Amino acid sequence: MQPGGHHILVIEDEQPIRRFLMASLSNEGYRISEAASGEEGLRMASSQPPDLVILDLGLPDLDGHDVLKRLREWYTSPIIILSARDQETQKIKALDGGADDYVTKPFGIGELLARMRTAMRHAQRSGPEETTITVGDIRVDRSARLVRRKGEEVHLTPLEYKLLVTLARHAGKVLTHRFLLREVWGPQNSQENHYLRVFVASLRRKLEDDPARPRYILTEQGVGYRFAAD
Ligand code: CA
């Protein structure tokens, strides 16, 4: 997909970072708007809704989590957090609050661009659900409820299958423990992190060449899991 013309809103109070993003993103063909405060960002987002928002958490007027919350009352396109706050609790709060991804400062522009592309690919896909999901050697056929690895059928229990489909449907995106538990086991089990560990381990044994160095089901330490996008 060509990024050509996609409109990105950067909400960030540090001018050197805004300037750097402006230069690197325009270089990739994106159109950029920039806001130096939370209120300004909210105003700009509503007057001209962008295709993606890059949001800092440490803003002079509002906390970024509050900006995220107010944006998510109406804004459905991707929001990527770009923050110096690297604690797991901050990441979990932002992801559960509706952020699509979280990049910590200092950041590499290549990584940020890759996360942006993944987030926008998801947003475009959010129409009718695809029945077949293919990543690398793994193919999930949801209409036949069949999983193949290198062409061979893999036998999964119903919960393993549900967990795999949840991960694969959001490929590329970090899913928090709480989100996965709620989706797969239901809201009453949202604290039972050990369920997840056990089922992720058994999925890895069935799907990964080397379960100790997973290629598909990646651990986001202390936060959750991410299914590799490609
Ligand atoms: Ca800041």
pLDDT digits (tens, 9 = 90+) for 174-183: 999 999 999 9
| Residues 207, 216 contacting (CB under 8 angstroms) | yes
Residues forming a β-bridge with 154: 147
pLDDT of residue 189: 80
Among candidate residues 117, 102, 89, the one with its CA nearest the CA of residue 2? 117
Q: In angstroms, what is the span from residue 40 Cα to ligand 1's centroid?
A: 14
pLDDT of residue 1: 39
Q: In angstroms, what is the span from residue 165 Cα to ligand 1's centroid?
A: 36
pLDDT of residue 126: 57
* Intervals of the chain under pLDDT 70: 1-4, 125-129, 230
Q: Which two tokens stand for residue 96?
A: 């559960």
Q: In angstroms, what is the span from residue 1 Cα to ligand 1's centroid?
A: 31
pLDDT in tens, 60-92: 999 999 999 999 988 989 999 999 998 999 999
Instruction: Please state the separation of Cα 103 from the chain's center in Å.
Output: 10
- Amino acid at the residue 167: L
- Ordered by where they begin, the domains of the chain are 7-124 (3.40.50.2300), 132-227 (1.10.10.10)
* Alpha carbon distance, N-terminus to C-terminus of the chain: 14
Residues 6+ apart with CB under 8 A from 196: 163, 177, 180, 181, 225
Q: In angstroms, what is the span from residue 34 Cα to ligand 1's centroid?
A: 13
Q: In angstroms, what is the span from residue 37 Cα to ligand 1's centroid?
A: 9
- Amino acid at the residue 93: K
Q: Which residues surround ligand 1, an ion (CB under 5 A)?
A: 13, 56, 58
pTM above 0.75, yes or no: yes
pLDDT of residue 125: 66
